[in-house]
Amino acid sequence: MLRTNEDKLVKISVLGEVSHPIKSRARPYLVSFKGEIYALPGVGGITYNKRVGDNCVDLMGDHVEPGVSVKNTQKDPYGKDGYNTALNVLSCIGNEAIIVSGDAKGEKGVVVGKHGGIEHVIVDFKPEIMERLLPGDKILIKAFGQGLKLLDYPDIKVMNIDPNVLKKFPIKEENGKLKIGVAKPK
């Protein structure tokens, strides 16, 4: 069993809202190599029919985020985007997400990823919960995991994972090394 510093970690709230889908005003339409004009869904919003684990090849979309995209657009007291930075830096894969406003208030999901560049946290909810969400609904994330260390492996840096998720990984210790199984979809 891996020894960690989980007992030293801080669990803290971060807040975001379901983001609106985003299209560039400068280029809302694209032109194919055949000269065809088209528009595709991209980042943000609620993606109802694409979730983590689905095939992401050959989609009619551009940088589609599976599930629910979350961002904090509120400016901090210094007029910066520190609230969204905290949301993105402190949220970890496996963190609990709780809807705190709107028709789905009280329902829970889980953080499944982040999308750098657009600075979204990606959260998965059951499909019937996503049907009750709207852009702007608030989501509280119980951020937990940053600062996690493997005490017997100080050279390995652990980032962006809830310790409870790490415990579920099929990790074996052999001859002072860690072996982690991976799977390839069929």
- In three-state form (DSSP H/G/I as H, E/B as E, the rest C), the secondary structure along the chain is CCCECHHHCCCEEEEEEECCCCCCCCCCCEECCCCCEECCCCCCCEECCCCCCCCCCCCCCCCCCCEEEEECCCCCCCCCCHHHHHHHHHCCECCEEEECCCCCCCCEEEEEEEECCCCEEEEECCHHHHCCCCCCCEEEEEECCCCCEECCCCCCECCCECHHHHCCCCEEEECCEEEECCCCCC
The residue range of the domain holding 42 is 10-147
pLDDT reported for residue 27: 74
Domain count, the chain: 1
What are 54-111's pLDDT values in tens digits?
A: 888 888 888 888 999 999 999 888 878 899 999 999 999 999 999 999 999 999 999 9
Tokens of 95: 């963190």
Full-prediction pTM beyond 0.75?
yes
127 lies in some domain: yes
157 lies in some domain: no
Of the given ranges (22-31, 52-61, 125-134, 175-184), which has the lowest mean pLDDT? 22-31
88 lies in some domain: yes
Q: Evaluate if residue 120 carries a pLDDT over 90.
A: yes
Q: Evaluate if residue 138 carries a pLDDT over 70.
A: yes
- The pair phi, psi for residue 40, each rounded to 5°, is -125, 150
136 lies in some domain: yes
pLDDT reported for residue 80: 84
In this structure, what CATH number is given to the domain that contains residue 24? 2.40.10.170
129 lies in some domain: yes
| Percentage of the chain exceeding pLDDT 90 | 66
126 lies in some domain: yes
Of the given ranges (4-8, 26-30, 158-162), which has the lowest mean pLDDT? 26-30
Mean pLDDT of 169-178: 89
The most confident of the ranges 46-50, 64-68, 108-112, 172-176 is 108-112
Q: Is 67 left (phi over 0), alpha (psi -120 to 50) or beta?
A: left
